[in-house]
Chains A and B, each alone.
Chain A
Amino acid sequence: MKGKKVVSYFMAAVLMTGICGSVPAAEVHAEGDYEKVVYAFPSFNNIPTEESIASVEEAINEITREKINVEVDLMPLNIAEYTQQVTLALQGGEAVDCFMSLGDFNNCVSTGMAADITDLVDTYAPETRDLIGEEWMKTTTKEGAVYGFPTYKPVALTPMVVYKQKYVDELGIDMSKVNSIEDLTDVLRKVKEAYPDITPLVPVNSGETGIMQAAGDVDFLSDDYTSPKGVLMGESTEVVDFYSTDRFKELCSLTRTWYNEGLIMKDAATTTAAAAELMSADNSFCYVAAYSYPEADTAASLEAQCGNFELGAKIIGEAYLDTSSVNALTWMISSTSKVPEAALKFLNLTFTDKEVVNLIIYGIEGRDYVKDAEDFVSYPEGQDASTVPYTAQLSCGVLGNFFIMYPMAGTNKESLDWELEQNKAAKTSNAMGFSFNSSSVKTEYTAVANVVSQYLPGLQCGSVDPETELPKFIDALNSAGMGSIVSAKQEQLDTWMAENK
């Protein structure tokens, strides 16, 4: 008996200390006269050493001390670990003031990660608010409260087919006639006929053939496009189950035809390689994906990773903007931040101050990069991205304002205008600005997500027969609770529509 008591005493002690321990340690923010802001951003490059980061911070501080009375603490985190490390840091009560949603705006809001900054925006970041514009600010506003700024960059993703030029030339294929994913079939056939050993179409990723992005005007209503649930089709404002639509059925039979005729990679649903790797082999011809650059730029920029083949790109659909295309990358202030005003002031600079944003991206001029007369950036003689002390160059599409960053040498300044134009001209969903809060249907979401991952890759890659599998898929979805998700979405959408019309 006594033994049990010992154990329970231990447990009680444990719980007590547990409770005390979990109270977030109050971090001392103010150092000197300046408020300290921690800016956590994802980096695709090597994470620099503390010393190199400190030197960049010092250069930024020289600007920020004077302009906004703030000192910054840069926290570059590895992209693949970004979400987890930021989440843990916030749960642990550590000071992280500015962070990015990384595709998860709704989650950040519904779990209380992001602070409501409605009252602060007009005072501390009016320039950024104006830059983003009313239309886009709606995407980061939820139930009347503002939660952040979307990264300002080319967001209009246009579906394209990226192909190897030499086959097109040899076979005299006129790519300008290819204007939809359906038009692609004949091209694939021609290639297959002339070169039986070639796999004409390869997947973008394992189980992902790009058809979802080429599906046409679909608003995925806050879902990941790789696993959509309830969606809006075209002009309609009625939420529907994407997999029950005729469009999805057509796409499935299209890929099934490809599969049966050997036009698509046989193991597209399970391959370990992504498009870039597959394209760098000799036995592939094209893949379908969506990009935000003009055709020629896209092709040119992909050549290096695709085995240095000469590539071409052809747009096969129109860019379509929905809420997620804008707010996928939203900069937010953490709800636990002790200095939301200072954090917002700094965030404002990353959207408006050329020097600040370029320091974060490229580091210190001379040491980390060199710049020519026209502001084109390259690495110092004999150095590259992996050897300079500091660079976050690959994060250029993630931080603040893309359009005020120095371009890398070899890029094209005119493209920027095209991209800016696309942002404005792209077709926009009726529900632009609406975002879905899934917390009332979480249970159904998990079950449905499992069903989708079970059936979608096979259907999308044509490796299963839609005649028999699609009905099974739809049945499974319905018993997993797809209906509740659709009606929850519809309900929220109707409320939103009523408020915003």
Chain B
Amino acid sequence: MVKAAAKQKKQSFRKSVPLLVIALPAILYILVNNYLPMFGVFLAFKDYNFFKGIFGSDWCGLDNFKFLFATENAWIMTRNTILYNLAFIVIGTVFAIAVAILMNEVGKLFRAKFFQSALLLPNLLSWVVIAYIGYAFLNPETGFINNTVLSSLGKEGVAWYTESSKWPFILILVYLWKNMGYSSIIYMASIAGIDKGIFEAARLDGASKLRQIFSITVPLLKPTVIMLTLMSVGRIFFSDFGLFYQVPMNSGALYSTTQTIDTYVYRGLMELNDVGMSAAAALYQSVVGFIVVVAANAVVRKVDSENALF
């Protein structure tokens, strides 16, 4: 028995060799690019000194992590980070799938090209420029919304950069504006991968277009949705710095709805410039994300092992 098992193992290893060889270049790259520099994680526990270098610097235990919790706003920034990420995952996915389905319908037409380029363009702009555009729209005095839209409706202007309650909507809108086209591409490719025969059969059965979408397309996109969601869940403690720092113009009055872990770390370390503390922040975010994603993956594996990430 044991012998047989060993033999089988050996055989399955031999079978794996060609596949491993194909994967080898990329594995090597990942080792070099991602795993070799992991020694930088030590920085999180060091009182970094240039002269002594990463390995020579003194250990300082968990001192570098303290600042993440030394503020009464620790809760606010954690809450904001998580809620925004959840909103982005849910709303972002819905929009991306909707756009992909619509795009697929007009797929072969000339105008599809135009729509696609248009939706992709915002992704090419840097956050600084996007912040300027946002400002052009929201500036209380000369801004497009107060000046043109609201005034023509006969309404009072809004002091956008001091009203924190408006920002969850603004930030989600900006996020969608920038990322919708980009993420819909993934779903377009997935839809393209669906066997056309299924639609053909459904059509012959007299299923309406809408019916086809909800009974065929959407369910078949499930693996992609699960995968993308799992990946975003791993980064639940990270936030897009530019979106939360540049777009609200660093306005203090908005902190209750715009402060995230990343912006807190940035503002706090701007003067101190401490490598150890920034390494600690990144490690904290990674570890939490790691725990969450491993848990989520375990659930997925139980329900639907085919689509688990690992």
Contact = CB atoms under 8 A, between A and B. Distances in A.
Contacts of A453: 250, 252, 267
A450 B71 contact: yes
Contacts of B163: none
A88 to B, nearest CB: 10
Contact of B70 (A13, A90, A272, A481): A481
Nearest to A104: B273
Nearest to B38: A14
Chain A, interface residues (CB within 8 Å), range: 35 or more
Nearest to A115: B51
A474 to B, nearest CB: 14
Contact of B251 (A10, A11, A13, A269): A269
Given A18-B37, A267-B139, A91 B50 contact: yes
Contacts of A479: 72
Given A11-B35, A272-B135, A447-B268, A458 B51 contact: no
Interface stretch (A33-41, A105-113, A231-239, A301-309): A105-113
Interface string B22-58: 0000000001000111110000000111111111000
Contacts of B116: none
B277 A450 contact: no
Interface residues of B, number: 49
Contacts of A224: 271
Contacts, number: 134
B132 A446 contact: no
A480 B49 contact: no
Contacts of A111: 48-50
A107 B259 CA distance: 26
A446 B268 contact: yes
A91 B31 CA distance: 22
Contacts of B274: 442
Interface in A1-50: 10-11, 13-15, 17-19, 21-22, 24
Given A447-B70, A450-B73, A456 B252 contact: yes
Contacts of B73: 450
A444 B39 contact: no
Interface string A200-218: 0000001100000000000
Nearest to B35: A14
A443 B269 CA distance: 10
Tell me the interface secondary structure of chain B in the complex: helix
A104 B49 CA distance: 15
A458 B252 contact: yes
Contacts of A445: 268, 271-272
Interface string B7-25: 0000000000000000000
B66 to A, nearest CB: 5
Contacts of A454: 252, 255
A450 B50 contact: no
Nearest to B139: A267
A403 interface: no
A446 B250 CA distance: 16
B264 interface: yes
Shortest 3 CB-CB contacts between residues of A and residues of B: A446-B268, A18-B39, A454-B252
Given A11-B35, A270-B135, 5 more contacts: A14-B35, A14-B36, A15-B39, A267-B140, A336-B50
11 contacts: A112-B51, A207-B250, A223-B271, A270-B249, A334-B50, A336-B51, A443-B66, A443-B70, A445-B272, A446-B268, A450-B268
